[in-house]
Amino acid sequence: MAMSKIGIIVTLGILIGLSSCRHTSEDETESKLQWGHLAEDSLAPESPQFLINKKPSETYRVCLADYLKAELPGIEGEISAAINIWAHYIGRKIPVIIEARPLSRSTVTDTVESLSDSYFKACGSGFDVVVGFGPLDGGTVGVTGASYSFRALPNGKRDIVSFKRFLFLRDFAVRPFGDGSENKGWVSLQARSGKVRTAQEILDLMTSRSMLQFSSDRRSLSLSVLTHEFGHVWGLCDQYEGAANCDSKNSTSHLVLDSVMGGESSRQTVYLTDDDIQGIRALNAREGFSHNWPQSPSSAQNPVPLTISEVEHFEINNVTRDSKNLVITYSVFTNVPAKIRISLMPQQGGREIPLTGLLESGDVPFKQGWSRLSVALTDQDKTKYKVKAVLQKAKDSTTLKSLQSADFL
């Protein structure tokens, strides 16, 4: 076989958006503490629908759809930690009370509004939020929102007399992604790690800022999306392309895709980034939002430095073959500019066949989850191959990591 017949035909990044957005990694910017707060008019120091306004003696009451406990084991600890990881960095602790109720899964005719109405009715009064799976569309995997009634005050402010907040994770059984991305839905931290943790242990894990997850199993980690959505409940806005909920007075227009509020679910941070922490601290420091909590967090609440490794993740997720092509799905996340050399190893031995194209990240690091590349084979080629992939530093071609696919195809 002539080597020139083998070349890389297509590469396509597949990313899954958090909240109401799907984004690409093309506008990746370095984190420069470009946090942002919600532009919502109702984010004021007396708006009870935001977590930032909980007073030191108050609890946070969650009405949880009980099917979530079965689908996402450990979900209650995750909810408590997703709330309190934000509290941690401003020296607060929110007591979370979770009551599970036999709520029904959404149907194909449900909307987010109809579902939240029926959940509120079933939960009864006194809850700060209802949490369940919801009928989300497009690339959205999580959403939170609140409806409220208010009394207009003479000074132009709003006295919020009641509110209903919902927080939904996408119900993939009712609304699968229609783009062939083969998302398999959700996985809880407990299910993925095989380890049962209390809420405090999850919080400790998050504050250690040591766990980074990649969706090798094609499932989104519920904890990461809950942390993002509860970030909104605190009062923070989205930091990804296309989002329009940031207050121009309290954020820059720059994206911080690596942050929790930037959210990119094939790379799942089980911690808050510096940018997220800067954002919640800035909100706490805004006039009127400190609510008798300690003025500034103690040194114990300062973030542990992040360890930056050159390679965060490099994996051949999958290799398939049809009559003409070998389709390789791979994920690569680096913190240095890099390149990938791919070659085919024939089953009967002999020389490795390097592919003619080279995947390069350019001047920036690789941030690609579940990218596919297609290698065209000739009709006559009945050889079975393994795929070998070598990740190298762009600067000096030092090998960072070398991989081989499992089987000959």
Interface residues with Zn ion (CB under 5 A)? 19, 238
Burial profile 59-86: b = 16 or more Cβ within 10 angstroms, e = fewer: ebebbbbebbeebbbbbbbbbbbbbbbb
CB of 132 to Zn ion, least distance (A): 17
CB of 144 to Zn ion, least distance (A): 8
Q: Which is nearer to Zn ion, 139 or 365 (CB)?
A: 139
Maximum CA extent, the chain = 84
Distance CA 406, CA 65 (A): 41
Q: Which is nearer to Zn ion, 203 or 246 (CB)?
A: 246
CB of 387 to Zn ion, least distance (A): 36
Q: Which is nearer to Zn ion, 110 or 238 (CB)?
A: 238
Query: How is residue 18 written in tokens?
Result: 């958090």
Q: Which is nearer to Zn ion, 215 or 265 (CB)?
A: 265
Q: Which is nearer to Zn ion, 19 or 31 (CB)?
A: 19
3-state secondary structure 10-36: EEECCCCECCCCCCCCCCCCCCCCCCE
Distance CA 24, CA 7 (A): 25
The residue among 9, 1, 47, 90 whose CA lies nearest residue 279 is 90
In 171-245, at which residue ranges do the beta strands (DSSP E only) sit? 186-187, 212-214, 220-221
CB of 72 to Zn ion, least distance (A): 19
Query: How is residue 355 written in tokens?
Result: 């592919």
CB of 183 to Zn ion, least distance (A): 18
CB of 253 to Zn ion, least distance (A): 16
Residue of this chain nearest to Zn ion (CB atom): 19
Q: Which is nearer to Zn ion, 78 or 238 (CB)?
A: 238
Q: Which is nearer to Zn ion, 238 or 274 (CB)?
A: 238
Q: How many CA atoms lie within 13 A of 53 on its CB side?
A: 15
SS3 at position 343? strand
CB of 320 to Zn ion, least distance (A): 33
